[in-house]
Structure 1
């Protein structure tokens, strides 16, 4: 009899469930049931609407399978904040959602510096131009993107998450990519660096990020943090595997997610690079 917790897989902004195609067979091989939540048809919807759809999806899968125990939730990018909004804001007091652990890959937990940068009247247009075909489509207008507006650090959505705080009945795990060797090939669009807020309120770039999400956007009090690669030499072989859009397919991260879902991983937090 399989006693593994089902894993609910939540993809990110402008992504799709295919991002889990490297993880899915690994979970199958280790007898971890998984449910892929697909919100690709909800372009234009806000955080709360997608979070409610995630709640309904989990409930439907529970009814379909007859499973009544806790689940694990594995998310990429903003999918982490969708799950957190469900668990902390919508369900925080009731705690009807039974979740053992939340694994976030490259999450903008504190709001997205990139979302704010998109809206910067001076830097935004050039940043968007560089990311066309890499992270955003042609003729992209951030003003028309509900999720991008809701993930700006000073938005009501991020404020609601901040007020609610994390839940003490859930183990939070954060998996991050970093350019540990400062190689420009890591994310050529920005010469291997990631944009983030500077202490003076301005902008700066850092190697402590995955090209799109800096570590400062991701960190949460009490959450375990793993920074990849664990061996910097891996960046010399495949630097692109540690960038934001590819992280869920990275073999090293896939193995770590598998270990967490089977509870065979030991804490392996690393100190992020400083600049």
Structure 2
């Protein structure tokens, strides 16, 4: 019987479980079971609704497999916040969900600067125009997007996560990318840069981000962060592999996540 923790894979906003197609072969080879949570049919639903669906999914998989031990949860982007809302807000005091570690790939843990920028009356329309076909569909209207509205930094959902805080019974790991070589091809829509909040409350761009999520969106108190690539030369070879939408398929990310999920992986 396989005693390794199953990995629950949670995709992000307007994404799909196919983003894990480079990770899952490696998990299979390493003998790590995986369960792919699919919330593509829930567009229009809010954070709490999707988080409850994730809880139902994990419970159903436990019943189906007969597995009652801890699980690891691996998430991309907004999927991290869905999982955190389940674990920290909905289950925070109960501690019914047995989770060994939560791995967030490019997560907007503090709310999304991009979500706020989408709603900026001056800059928003041009930013959305640049992202059409890259990150948003034609005729995208952020006012009609529940998740985007819920992850503006001043929202009640982000406040609930901030107030709940991380759980001391779960190891958190954050994987981020940075444009270490200032290569425009890293994310051409913004010349290789990422929008973030400036200290004065305005806007600025930075190379410390993945084109969509700046590092300042991701950081959590007391949680370790790993910034990729380890070798800046990788950006010269394949800069596009390190942008936000490509991170789950990035070979370096796949290798790190597979290492995290190893039974011998050290606790943080």
Fold conserved (TM > 0.5)?
Answer: yes
Is structure 2 residue 243 aligned with structure 1 residue 243?
yes
* Counterpart Cα distance in 2 of 1:135 and 1:12: 12
Q: 1:59: which partner in 2?
A: 59
Alignment of 1:80-119 (within 5 A): 80-119=80-119
Question: What is the RMSD computed on CA atoms of the aligned residues?
Answer: 1.2
Is structure 2 residue 171 aligned with structure 1 residue 171?
yes
Q: 2:144: which partner in 1?
A: 144
Matched residue SS, 1:245? helix
Q: Is the 8 A contact 1:224 1:267 kept in 2?
A: no
* Counterpart Cα distance in 2 of 1:54 and 1:11: 11
* Counterpart Cα distance in 1 of 2:9 and 2:224: 19
Matched residue SS, 1:162? helix
Matched residue SS, 1:204? strand
* Counterpart Cα distance in 2 of 1:266 and 1:60: 29
Q: Is the 8 A contact 1:6 1:32 kept in 2?
A: yes
What is the total number of aligned residue pairs between the two structures? 268
- Per-residue CA distance 1:217-237 (angstroms, 9 max, x = gap): 001111111100000000000
Q: Is the 8 A contact 1:11 1:19 kept in 2?
A: yes
Once the 2 structures are TM-superposed, how far is the Cα of residue 42 of structure 1 from its aligned partner?
A: 0.1
Once the 2 structures are TM-superposed, how far is the Cα of residue 157 of structure 1 from its aligned partner?
A: 0.2
Once the 2 structures are TM-superposed, how far is the Cα of residue 266 of structure 1 from its aligned partner?
A: 6.7
Q: Is the 8 A contact 1:110 1:217 kept in 2?
A: yes
Query: Structure 2: 5+ residue runs without aligned partners?
Result: none
Is structure 2 residue 180 aligned with structure 1 residue 180?
yes
Q: 2:26: which partner in 1?
A: 26
- Per-residue CA distance 1:98-133 (angstroms, 9 max, x = gap): 000000000000000000000000000000000000
Q: Is the 8 A contact 1:112 1:152 kept in 2?
A: yes
* Counterpart Cα distance in 2 of 1:150 and 1:104: 19
- Per-residue CA distance 1:146-180 (angstroms, 9 max, x = gap): 00000000000000000000000000000001000
